[in-house]
Structure 1
Amino acid sequence: MRRPLWYPLIALMTGILIGDRFVLAPEVLLAGMLPVLALLLLCLRRRWNAAALIALLLLTLTAGMLNIQRQLFLARQEKHVLHLADQGKMTLEGVVLSTEQAFPGKSTLIVLCRRVLQNQTPAPVTGKIRVAIPSDLSFQYGDFIRFHTKIKKIQGFHNPGSFDYERSQNRRGLYVSGFVSDRAGIVLIRPDTASGLKLKLERFRLYLKRLLEVHAASPQREILQAMTIGDQKALPQDVRDQFAKTGTSHILSISGLHVGIVAASAFFLMLLAFKSSEYCMLKFNIIKTATAAAIVPVLIYALVAGMGTPVLRSTLMTLAFLAALLIGRPKDLYNILAGAALIILIASPEALFEISFQLSFSAVLAILYGVEKLGKRQIPLPSAAPRWIAAGVNRLYLFLLVSTAATLGTLPIIAFYFNRVSAVALIANLVAVPLLGILALIPAMMFILTSVFSAALAGFFISIASFFTGIAVSIIEELALLPWSSLSFIKPNALEIALFYAFMYFLIEALTTDRPKDLQDVPARRPLWIKTGLLVCAALILADAAFLVLKDQFSSHLKITAIDVGQGSSALVRMPGGVNMLIDGGGFHDSSFDVGRAVIAPFLYAKRIRKVDIAVLTHPHPDHLQGLIHIVNAFDVREVWCAGLTADNDLYRLWEKTVAERGVKVRTLSAQSPPEVVSGVTFQFLWPLRPPPPGVQGMSYQETNDASLVIKMTYGARRFLVTGDISAAIEAFLTASGKDLKSDVLFVPHHGSLSSSSPDFLRVVSCRYAVISAGKNNVFRHPHPAVLERYRSAGAAIFRTDRDGAVSIDSDGQSLSVTPWIKKPDPDFVRRRAPNISLPTTG
């Protein structure tokens, strides 16, 4: 059987995917494995090889299902820390497993819980918790700590196409989090309680990190830290963005390039040492001995680098390659790659869902295939050309081939996760790989080696590596500033990703139709089949592109989505003809978490949106403004509608700067403004009464809320009211104004605060559906129970982003439907009869 490891690998991956989606009791899975195991033994005894293979694959599939669910099984245990969530503040004790920099001013610890103190009585507890602490507090791996915190379940944002942060953390065994505001809430009981190799390695990694801090400036320090000890968490966001735009992010992650240089350097150094000894040359096979000796530094470097997924994959492949050289067996790199993946997924099945795993293996697989098919081609040169020129040209061709293969192999995955692909990747890699991958990496490796016996010598090598790193950073920064350095992409679906890979396969096969002599007897229909597949894939890609371009232009529906942005507000309005409006952008007070980048942009890309024609800012509070800044930067925004309010803070100044730099037209609107008709939708501006005088500053928090832009949208017979954060006082003014406020859907004022949604206002609006944008378990306790009861009494069906996720509204101007993203029955809201509620056509 050729490449036998690919069969169990595919079976294991299938089992992991099924087990991640469908949960079965472990008893059921184990009971299912027993008859399959018996069948396997029977088939092996009777030499039924085909049946034995099927039984083995079924067993592997079931094992994958069981393995991916082990964290869930552990979390269901009675003593797991998950069962202490949402029960007020508690005192916990546990061992620090890892530390990381989360945001400026805040670090996080991953703690393995040991005990909980209840009424001064300790009780055993299991499971891990993520604890946020001030960045000026320092704890290390193995520290036994006690901390006082409120335990909360880890939550994400529930929007179509969004990254499922909650599930990704659950796969790692993290179900709860806590927060310690100051040093009074956390104390070190005993340091270094862990034992063994990992503790020694963590101490050594910390020592290397401190040497880098002393001898290298930022961002060279953080880049070398990523390339040597595998810690990318401290990389500045602007550096990440520049490397991503230029397609050179892979250099920041320890990969086959780094491990290969370690192996090659060790091999040649040992070879030189053995060649210097006549005794060794006569006594040993110095090639195999040097190969065996290279295994040790590879293992040491992998341990120092933290054994992340790319490191583990590269190490396993390097060790397999060295082992093949030692035993003199032919080496199939495809099989080695499959074996590395098998080992990783058996040990950590959750790695299948990690971006690093997907990018790492897709890049290597693409390189192997591309070099196999196209690597033996020779660049035609004049016969008089010197041999060294021919050799240099062919090496350059091979380098470009490897870079192109890796870029194309990872392109769909990068587009899926990051929605941006570099247009200068080949140029940037021609510069970055020699500078960072060789000139900076080799002294960085020497820094690790010499740090064991001389900190001064290690500092010298850090300075050399930092010099070349600085040159690379400067060039990458210049390339990233080019307006065409990267291209934005909508989020491809699974079928489109498969179609791309199929097209590339058929294209490469079509380019390599010349068959070797030993394959001349292959039927001639194979090239025809390849050409047919290529044409079919090309036709499907063109059809898909045409559909994406035309579908919105011919749409006659108004679609509104209240996006789940936590304790904030943001709504996407998609009008007939493909016109898009974003009302507010969510955000958090005093937080560096970018809702626009992390939540709204992925949602827009998932909805196949690359342009936002109109961005609306109801008022400049962070929970409505912050996310809009990234949207204006990353999307084609034509206009900004606002009430003319300003704010005297850095966030608003950044907003003004961003809008000005992008050349976006700003329109100040009020009740004095005439209605606007956009793509068949009428926008009527009900509040504020008039724009504020120019340069007005010093408005109080409540005054800014009450100056929110209030908009009524009308499409056919359906009406929608957006109210910002107005209070009952403004509601009373609007009610007394005599304006037609009646609406089918009301976007509830001020997140359901008690100070809004007055009974008289609800009576005049007479909405059928109330949509509340609020964060789960928020500190303001929005929406207020009394407000919820008012809406129930008014006969409105209530939808909440904190419990329903994104809320989607669809109307053709007559009928209307409301659909929550989380389709679960909610006993708290008896008014809701079904996940999808349709409003019949009225006369």
Structure 2
Amino acid sequence: MFALALGLLALRWLPALPSGAGLLAMLILALMLLPFRTYPVAFFLVGLSWACISAQWALDDRLQPALDGQTRWVQGRVIGLPQHTGTGVRFELADSRSRTARLPQRIRVSWHGGPTVNSGEYWRLALTLKRPAGLLNFHGFDHEAWLLAQRIGASATVKDGERLAPARHAWRDGVRQRLMAVQAHGREAGLAALVLGDGSGLAPEDWQALQNTGTVHLLVISGQHIGLLAGLIYGLVAMLARYGGWPRGWPWLPWACGLAFAAALGYGLLAGFGVPVQRACVMVGLVLLWRMRFRHLGVWWPLLLALNGVLLIEPLASLQPGFWLSFAAVAVLVLAFSGRLGPWNVWQIWTRPQWLIAIGLFPVLLVLGLPISLSAPVANLFAVPWISLVVLPLALVGTALLWVPLIGEGLLWLAGGALDGLFKGLALLAAQLPAWVPAEVPLMYWLVSLAGAVIVLLPKGLPFRVLGWPMLLVAVFPPRDGVPNGQVEVLQLDVGQGQALILRTRHHTLLYDAGPRSGPVDLGARVVLPSLKKLGVGQLDMMLLSHADADHAGGAAAVALGLPVKRVVGGETEGLPAFLATQPCSSGEQWEWDGVAFELWQWSDAIEGNPKSCVLQVQANGERLLLTGDIDRAAEQAFLTSPLAVPTDWLQAPHHGSRSSSSWPFLQRLAPTAVLISRGRGNAFGHPHSQVLERYQALGSRVYDSAEQGAVRLRLGAFTPPTVARSQRRFWREPLP
């Protein structure tokens, strides 16, 4: 069983899937090994083969490259719970069909300004189709992996549509609509998350409070509540049987186990039957089965069987961080509780699990690149019993009794009030102690930290157990790969249709542009700030905003609120938040950091907008980088009269490669060896323009495009080739063009 699990999990690290012949050879080898009783190797190969076959099916179901960007009429059924926002609706379309092309079975659809869409409805939609893609950074969330794990073969935006048939068998959506219609102290979305596992209605500040306090699992990941509900049903039947309240003709134990498992499955279906819920249902079923047979279950068998059960049903579950956190948390508790000698008192039973989980999940969160909540043990100490014993029972019973006038709504009103009080307390705690985003840790240091966590979790009295603490904390202060004097590390982040570059010398850091912001989507907070923290940046010496457009300066406020910034300079000071205290770009200003020269330039005749972009030249050991913002042809012509108009090794393409920039005289004078383009895939502006790309090609310039290659990292002053994020091979990523 352990070998089977290793084979299923090995899929997560494959750079490419084996060919059909390779899969067939693995299966034949596994069958040949069985007669020789080499079961571990055989079952490992079986698990790996099944995982690869399932993953290949998902890859084959992706949108064909020839259809990328095309608009087609598509018919399909809405599944899941549609997410209605202030600007439109997002939902998933299943059983997609088109008369002219083969389409993926599941498409993720966004309808800006669209009507109300309900689960189970059948629609005919004019969709502009796109292949699965997402921002790709060295330390960021892998959206492509998430889409594949959800078996979503395409994304799309709606041009037009009509409803062909009303909703059928959409009871989960009906329950959500009833929950959202009750009066629950403004916490109706929280109740929907708790009961249905649907967190789409939670406000961003609620998500931030949950993340900072390590309590996200209490509202969205409902695995522990499955076990709680099953235990309550089992205990209720056992109590009735003990005190004579259970019918004597009915054997209480089979009924208790059957009703408990039915309750677990019912709540699992209500919550969407995600990975944590699958794991909980499998484990509950095994415990009840062994209980009926009066057999000792042991401590690791249920977890191992649940792991294999989830991965056999959906091998791609290992691509999701929630899978690892869910099983790791249970494994930590199993390891801690199985090794104890003698009973724990009530205080220990209440407090110790939270600290043990915090210790055990530390290296897991670290390797997944997720924020680590320092207040999680304290927050969960109160939040877990409050949710489990107060909010959840009221919410479930209230939901079940919604058909009874006043009673169901009254219970939900009480549940909402209890949940509102919890959120207010979590917000206060989060404000005092926000989540910590650790810097990137080398593999060897992470392995030492993992070993330290395991040693700390072992029972007391074992020799050298105290050494686990310094081993665990090794990952908190890992060594930093310093930048040598006279060089600068340049990182162009993938922020879609926007721009953000991080420049680090040995002791200083500069941020050139801060990424875009559009409505609630702030890539300064989602991408730029976490990337700075992953690099170990404690403060910015300068944030240089080329101009005030939202695609360049939209994320500046989030960055300034998350990190100390010594100085903010902007090509435009109007339109930027007042608290940034932005200083105007001073053309001709020069300074030196750690042997690296910096100089600013701005067109003096520019009035506002793109032509007023603040240009930065960086020179390290004779290698030059020019960052141009969104200057246009007129500004480029003026730039040619400046002393900075010299041959340049690295050029940031003006205005994302727009036709209005990158004029031929400008490029001839600079003669860039390589060009950096930051833009969104399939953007509405047509960046970069084909004529601009032809000019770069005529000059022999190498083009590094964030939409195609993801983030780009280079070491200016070392004259070495750059590294692109897409070069990190994963089987779900399209290869480099």
Shared fold (TM-score greater than 0.5)?
yes
Q: 2:435 aligns with which of 483, 486, 498?
A: 486
CA contact (8 A) 1:643 1:688 kept: no
Cα–Cα, structure 1 residues 477 and 799, in superposed 2: closer, same or farther, change >3 Å? closer
* Structure-2 residue corresponding to 1:695: none
Shift of 1:552: 2.0
Q: State whether structure 2 residue 579 is matched by structure 1 residue 675.
A: no
SS of corresponding position for 2:141: coil
Shift of 1:146: 0.5
* Structure-1 residue corresponding to 2:452: 503
* Structure-2 residue corresponding to 1:639: 567
Shift of 1:269: 3.1
* Structure-2 residue corresponding to 1:357: 323
* Structure-2 residue corresponding to 1:10: 6
Cα–Cα, structure 1 residues 135 and 397, in superposed 2: closer, same or farther, change >3 Å? farther
Cα separation, 2, equivalents of 1:708 and 1:356: 42
Shift of 1:135: 5.9
Cα–Cα, structure 1 residues 459 and 290, in superposed 2: closer, same or farther, change >3 Å? same
* Structure-2 residue corresponding to 1:587: 516
Percent pairwise identity = 23
CA contact (8 A) 1:160 1:606 kept: no
Q: Give the aligned residue type for 2:547.
A: H
CA contact (8 A) 1:219 1:235 kept: no
SS of corresponding position for 1:645: coil
Q: Which of the pair has the greater relative contact order for Cα pairs under 8 Å at 6+ separation? A: 2
Cα separation, 1, equivalents of 2:443 and 2:192: 35
* Structure-2 residue corresponding to 1:289: 255
Structure 1 segment 683-832 matched on structure 2, within 5 A: 683-689=598-604, 703-737=608-642, 740-812=645-717, 815-823=719-727
Q: Which consecutive unaligned segments of at least 5 residues does structure 1 have?
A: 76-80, 194-198, 379-393, 514-526, 660-664, 693-698, 826-834, 836-843
CA contact (8 A) 1:158 1:164 kept: yes
* Structure number with bigger Rg: 1
Cα separation, 2, equivalents of 1:675 and 1:254: 53
CA contact (8 A) 1:375 1:401 kept: no
CA contact (8 A) 2:336 2:459 kept: no
Deviations along 1:338-365, one digit per CA (max 9) or x if unpaired, are 1111111111111112122111111111
Shift of 1:169: 0.9
Q: State whether structure 2 residue 79 is matched by structure 1 residue 86.
A: no
* Structure-2 residue corresponding to 1:475: 425
* Structure-1 residue corresponding to 2:558: 630
* Structure-1 residue corresponding to 2:30: 36
CA contact (8 A) 1:162 1:603 kept: yes
Q: State whether structure 2 residue 281 is matched by structure 1 residue 315.
A: yes
Shift of 1:546: 5.3
Deviations along 1:644-675, one digit per CA (max 9) or x if unpaired, are 4312xxxx4xx334x3xxxxx6432221x531
Shift of 1:276: 6.2
SS of corresponding position for 2:155: strand
Q: 2:148 aligns with which of 170, 174, 177?
A: 170
Q: Give the aligned residue type for 1:189.
A: L
CA contact (8 A) 1:670 1:689 kept: no
Cα–Cα, structure 1 residues 52 and 738, in superposed 2: closer, same or farther, change >3 Å? closer
CA contact (8 A) 1:101 1:135 kept: no
Q: 1:619 aligns with which of 547, 558, 573?
A: 547
Q: 1:61 aligns with which of 38, 42, 48?
A: 48
Q: Give the aligned residue type for 1:251.
A: L
Cα separation, 1, equivalents of 2:113 and 2:385: 36
Shift of 1:86: 2.7
Cα–Cα, structure 1 residues 375 and 573, in superposed 2: closer, same or farther, change >3 Å? farther
Cα–Cα, structure 1 residues 538 and 727, in superposed 2: closer, same or farther, change >3 Å? same
Q: Give the aligned residue type for 1:623.
A: D
**What's the TM-score once normalised by structure 2's chain length?**
0.91
Cα separation, 2, equivalents of 1:739 and 1:260: 67
Structure 1 segment 381-420 matched on structure 2, within 5 A: 394-417=345-368, 419-420=370-371
Shift of 1:491: 3.7
Cα separation, 1, equivalents of 2:286 and 2:566: 55
Q: State whether structure 2 residue 499 is matched by structure 1 residue 569.
A: yes
Q: State whether structure 2 residue 122 is matched by structure 1 residue 144.
A: yes
Cα separation, 2, equivalents of 1:211 and 1:90: 35
Q: 1:558 aligns with which of 482, 488, 491?
A: 488
Q: Give the aligned residue type for 1:733.
A: A
Q: Give the aligned residue type for 2:578.
A: E
Cα–Cα, structure 1 residues 10 and 28, in superposed 2: closer, same or farther, change >3 Å? closer
Q: State whether structure 2 residue 294 is matched by structure 1 residue 328.
A: yes
Cα separation, 1, equivalents of 2:639 and 2:289: 79
Shift of 1:91: 0.7
* Structure-2 residue corresponding to 1:429: 380
Cα–Cα, structure 1 residues 263 and 821, in superposed 2: closer, same or farther, change >3 Å? closer
Shift of 1:301: 1.6
* Structure-1 residue corresponding to 2:401: 450
* Structure-2 residue corresponding to 1:240: 207
Cα separation, 2, equivalents of 1:36 and 1:257: 37
SS of corresponding position for 1:502: helix
Cα–Cα, structure 1 residues 156 and 637, in superposed 2: closer, same or farther, change >3 Å? same
Q: Give the aligned residue type for 1:101.
A: Q
Q: Which consecutive unaligned segments of at least 5 residues does structure 2 have?
A: 730-735
Cα separation, 1, equivalents of 2:582 and 2:246: 82
Q: Give the aligned residue type for 1:557.
A: Q
CA contact (8 A) 1:324 1:331 kept: yes
Cα separation, 1, equivalents of 2:322 and 2:57: 22
Shift of 1:456: 2.9
Cα separation, 2, equivalents of 1:776 and 1:555: 36
Q: 2:578 aligns with which of 644, 647, 656?
A: 656
Q: Give the aligned residue type for 1:57.
A: F
Deviations along 1:613-672, one digit per CA (max 9) or x if unpaired, are 32110101011012233222223332212134312xxxx4xx334x3xxxxx6432221x
| Residue range with higher mean Cα deviation, 242-251 or 801-810 | 801-810
Deviations along 1:770-818, one digit per CA (max 9) or x if unpaired, are 2222222222112222222223333433332222322332133x63544
Shift of 1:606: 4.2
Cα–Cα, structure 1 residues 684 and 54, in superposed 2: closer, same or farther, change >3 Å? closer
CA contact (8 A) 1:440 1:465 kept: yes
Cα separation, 2, equivalents of 1:543 and 1:165: 26
SS of corresponding position for 1:585: coil
* Structure-1 residue corresponding to 2:733: none
* Structure-2 residue corresponding to 1:545: 477
SS of corresponding position for 1:91: strand
* Structure-1 residue corresponding to 2:732: none
Deviations along 1:157-191, one digit per CA (max 9) or x if unpaired, are 2322232212321333223211115xxx1111123
Shift of 1:287: 4.3
CA contact (8 A) 2:572 2:612 kept: no
Q: Give the aligned residue type for 1:670.
A: S
Cα separation, 2, equivalents of 1:817 and 1:82: 32
Structure 1 segment 509-520 matched on structure 2, within 5 A: 509=458, 511-513=460-462
